[in-house]
């Protein structure tokens, strides 16, 4: 079960620190700028330049060009060093989708759109980095802000890990978030254990036997077999249930050739 708090009706903006509330107009501005310039995985050059520009402007130590377009920023707390390192991760890439929304900040890149909210994730991570930088005297330990490329398919996490983003200093814990339209505005949802689904690919080859339609008993129809497999997978693992009601949800795609 997902626990959500608070809901839109109970949000009291006065409880949010004024210096955080004051960032709201900038967060909107950053997000909309990023939305206008979406880039596919490992092509996030404009996005990375914008992120680096802001980090440099705020005096935040950072490294660019990790796994091609990734960035890692480091913010050290001003209190006695606890030795603990927390990483905050945000993805930057967009999807190969044509935006049809008629809004002032519509995508300016034909066939590419921030349809999964990574523009928002990047803007939130930037706002978090700024706030932690200006209030670094209030906490101990080290914060790593990781701006990851290529979440949508190519796979940017692994090459960033292989490049050592979780080392020097070693990360004790890492957190992230995802914008979610199914939750009411002003709500934060959390859940113990697994929450988001992952995608994995596998190949299944079905060997049929050709023949004449008038003598089906002499054939093995691979299409019928494939259809049975699809139905069995859908029924066997409960793929029609809501993801929060089960541990996993599989999707089987069939590509018949021949």
What's the gap between Cα 129 and its chain centre?
18
Q: Catalytic residue, from 44, 91, 119, 151: name it.
A: 151
151 is an active site residue: yes
200 is an active site residue: no
In this structure, what are the phi and psi dihedrals at residue 122, rounded to the nearest 5 degrees? -65, -40
* DSSP code at position 13: G
Q: Catalytic residue, from 39, 44, 91, 93: name it.
A: 93
Question: Tokens standing for 193?
Answer: 């254990």
Burial bucket for residue 186 (CB in 10 Å: 0-12, 13-18, 19+): middle
Task: Note whether 248 and 197 are within 8 A (CB).
Answer: yes
Q: Which residue has the tokens 């990023």?
A: 34
Please give the torsion angle defined by the CA atoms of residues 92, 96, 102 and 105, in that order, rounded to the nearest 10 degrees.
30
For β-strands 188-190 and 173-175, DSSP reports them as unpaired
Closest alpha carbon to 23 in 181, 129, 176: 129
Helix (H, G, I), strand (E, B) or coil at 27: helix
Task: Note whether 64 and 52 are within 8 A (CB).
Answer: yes
> Would you please indicate which residues are annotated as catalytic (active-site) residues?
93, 151
């Amino acid at each position: 079960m997902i626990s959500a708090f608070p809901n839109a009706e109970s949000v009291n903006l006065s409880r949010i620190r004024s210096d955080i509330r004051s960032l709201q107009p900038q967060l909107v501005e950053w997000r909309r700028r990023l939305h206008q310039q979406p880039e596919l995985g490992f092509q996030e050059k404009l996005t990375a330049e914008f992120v680096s520009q802001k980090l440099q402007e705020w005096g935040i130590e950072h490294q660019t060009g990790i796994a091609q377009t990734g960035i890692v920023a480091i913010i050290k707390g001003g209190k006695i060093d606890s030795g603990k390192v927390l990483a905050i991760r945000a993805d930057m890439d967009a999807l190969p989708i044509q935006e049809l929304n008629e809004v002032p900040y519509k995508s300016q890149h034909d066939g590419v759109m921030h349809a999964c909210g990574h523009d928002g994730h990047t803007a939130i991570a930037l706002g978090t980095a700024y706030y932690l930088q200006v209030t670094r005297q209030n906490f101990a330990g080290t914060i790593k802000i990781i701006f990851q490329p290529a979440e949508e398919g190519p796979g940017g996490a692994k090459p960033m890990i292989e490049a050592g983003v979780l080392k020097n200093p070693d990360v004790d814990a890492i957190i992230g978030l995802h914008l979610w339209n199914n939750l009411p505005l002003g709500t934060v949802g959390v859940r113990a254990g697994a929450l988001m689904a992952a995608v994995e690919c596998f190949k299944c080859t079905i060997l049929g036997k050709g023949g004449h339609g008038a003598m089906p008993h002499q054939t093995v129809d691979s299409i019928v077999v494939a259809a049975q497999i699809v139905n069995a997978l859908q029924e066997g693992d409960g793929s029609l249930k809501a993801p929060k009601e089960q541990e996993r949800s599989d999707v089987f795609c069939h590509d018949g050739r021949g």
